[in-house]
Amino acid sequence: MADPVNDYALDLIWRKGRSYNGWLDKPVPETLIRAVYDLTKMGPTSANCSPARFVFVHSEDGKKRLAKHVSEGNQTKVLTAPWVCIIANDLMFQEKIPELFPHNPGAKDWFKDKDKRIETADRNGTLQGAYLMLAARALGLDCGPMSGFNQDGVDLEFFAEKDGTHHWRSNFICSIGHGDESTIFPRSPRLSFEDACQII
């Protein structure tokens, strides 16, 4: 049986982890972003389908392109963060299943139906986005997840092929860096076990 992690780790990832609105002027090297992904990819998904795709925006030009498509209240968060990740879903994720699920490569055929692919990608890609945030916190970084953006605009800006088609679909956006504690609000309440849970 594995031992639980210590209270420091629980505080870092859960109890004291917050959603940040502003960032310290402290660099985040690409090697650390790669380490975040290397943890993220280990999280479980259905049939190891791993539909999430991550676009890590670091350049000033990339941030300006992204900022055009986010709500006014999120523009500064995008422009000032060291990194901003577009968490997207690959709606043709099944093409990778023979590689990712080698003991049953025929599982690719489970996702012939487009609606089933979208449902599976939405569920598992969102899980992977959450894994990304937990991985970032575990490695000493802070996150600022956002959903206020024009999805079609982001998809056309970053994912459109030359013929205008695309099969990556943005899910949400997350700034990553070292958070400025002066930019966070007091922690909001959470539901109690009695309000949110049932034991049957």
pTM score over 0.85: yes
**Could you name the CATH architecture of 24-181?**
3-Layer(aba) Sandwich (3.40)
For tokens 């699920």, the residue is 101
CB 109 within 8 A of CB 32: no
Dist CA 48 CA 104 (whole Å): 11
Residue 1 pLDDT: 78
For Cα atoms 19, 88, 148, give the angle at the middle one, nearest 5 degrees.
45
**Over the stretch 41-97, which tens digit does the pLDDT of each residue have?**
999 999 999 999 999 999 999 999 999 999 999 999 999 999 999 999 999 999 999
Question: What is the 8-class DSSP label of residue 59?
Answer: S
Dist CA 80 CA 23 (whole Å): 7
